Amino acid sequence: MPSSSSPSKRPEVSVLDAAEAARVVAREIAELVRSKAARGERTVLGLATGKTPMGVYRELLRLHREQGLSFARVTTFNLDEFVGLRPDDPRSFRAWMRRELFDHVDLDPAHAHVPDGSGSPTTLDRECERYRERIRAAGGLDLQLLGIGKNGHIAFNEPGSSRDSRMRVVELAPTTRASLAAEFGALERVPIHGLTLGVADVLAARAIRLLAFGEGKRAILERALQAPIGPDVPATFLREHADVRWIADAAAAGHSR
CA atoms within 13 A on the CB side of 4: 17
Output 54 or 138, the one with its CB closest to ligand PGA. Answer: 54
In the complex, the smallest distance separating the C-beta of residue 39 from ligand PGA, rounded to whole angstroms, is: 32
The one-letter amino acid at 232: D
For residue 158, which of 176, 140, 135, 132 has the smallest C-alpha distance?
176
In the complex, the smallest distance separating the C-beta of residue 51 from ligand PGA, rounded to whole angstroms, is: 4
Binding to ligand PGA by residue 87, rule CB under 6 A? no
CA atoms within 13 A on the CB side of 168: 13
**Mask 130-169, x = binds ligand PGA (CB under 6 A)?**
-----------------xxx--------------------
Output 107 or 211, the one with its CB closest to ligand PGA. Answer: 211
How far is it, in rounded angstroms, from Cα 178 to Cα 169? 19
In the complex, the smallest distance separating the C-beta of residue 170 from ligand PGA, rounded to whole angstroms, is: 13
Output 204 or 212, the one with its CB closest to ligand PGA. Answer: 212
Write the DSSP symbol of residue 25. H
In the complex, the smallest distance separating the C-beta of residue 66 from ligand PGA, rounded to whole angstroms, is: 26
The backbone torsions φ and ψ at residue 54, rounded to the nearest 5 degrees and listed phi first, read -60, -40
Output 50 or 159, the one with its CB closest to ligand PGA. Answer: 50
| Contact between residue 159 and residue 230 where contact means Cβ atoms under 8 Å apart | no
Q: Are strands 80-82 and 193-196 parallel, antiparallel or unpaired?
A: antiparallel
Of residues 50 through 79, those in contact with ligand PGA by CB under 6 A are 50-52
Binding to ligand PGA by residue 195, rule CB under 6 A? no
Binding to ligand PGA by residue 191, rule CB under 6 A? no
Interface with ligand PGA by CB under 6 A: which range of 16-24, 44-52, 70-78, 108-116? 44-52
| Contact between residue 154 and residue 148 where contact means Cβ atoms under 8 Å apart | yes
| Contact between residue 79 and residue 47 where contact means Cβ atoms under 8 Å apart | yes
Active site (catalytic) residues:
80, 151, 153, 158
**Which residues of this protein are in contact with ligand PGA, per CB under 6 A?**
50-52, 147-149
